[in-house]
Structure 1
Amino acid sequence: MSADDPLLRILACPLDKGPLTLLEPEEALYNPRLRRRYPIVDGIPQLLPSAGEQLDEEEHARLLRSLSDPEERPS
């Protein structure tokens, strides 16, 4: 999945039904409102509520920084 994939426009978090952000190097989708990360396995987003991982404040802050500053993104 890539950032320009049209599927991203229609995918939604299964819990709050809001949009998700692609975390490309991590192969995951992220909901910053609920601090939940959903994995992408073999190109397929795992969007069951039980597949989501609740992130702590530190990881949430790291992801927000990496999304706003491309130089902080892991390679």
Structure 2
Amino acid sequence: MNPDDPLLKILACPLDKGTLHLLSPENILYNPRLRRRYPIIDGIPQLLPSSGEQVPDEEHESLLKRIEATEPELS
């Protein structure tokens, strides 16, 4: 999955139905509101609630900085 993939515009977090952010090279989708990451395996986003992992505070701060650097309008 790449940042230009039209699928990214319609994907949503299964828990809060909000926007997800693609983070490469880890190949994850991240929800900063709930601090949850979802893996992308073989190009397929794993968006079941049980697939998401809670992110520790330190990693959350790091991911937020990366999102802000690539997407100035953080939602």
Please say whether Structure 1 and Structure 2 have the same fold, judged by a TM-score greater than 0.5.
Answer: yes
Residue-pair matches, total: 70
TM-score after normalising by structure 1: 0.89
Instruction: State the AA in 2 paired with 1:61.
Output: E
RMSD value, Cα: 0.9
The aligned counterpart of 1:48 is 48
1: distance between equivalents of 2:66 and 2:19? 18
Task: Give the share of equivalent positions with the same residue, in percent.
Answer: 70
CA distance in 2 between partners of 1:67 and 1:30 (Å): 9
Any stretches of 5+ residues in structure 2 without a counterpart? 71-75
User: 1:6-25 residue pairs with structure 2 within 5 A?
Assistant: 6-25=6-25
Ranges of 4+ aligned residues in structure 1 off by more than 6 Å: none
Unaligned runs of 5+ in 1: 71-75
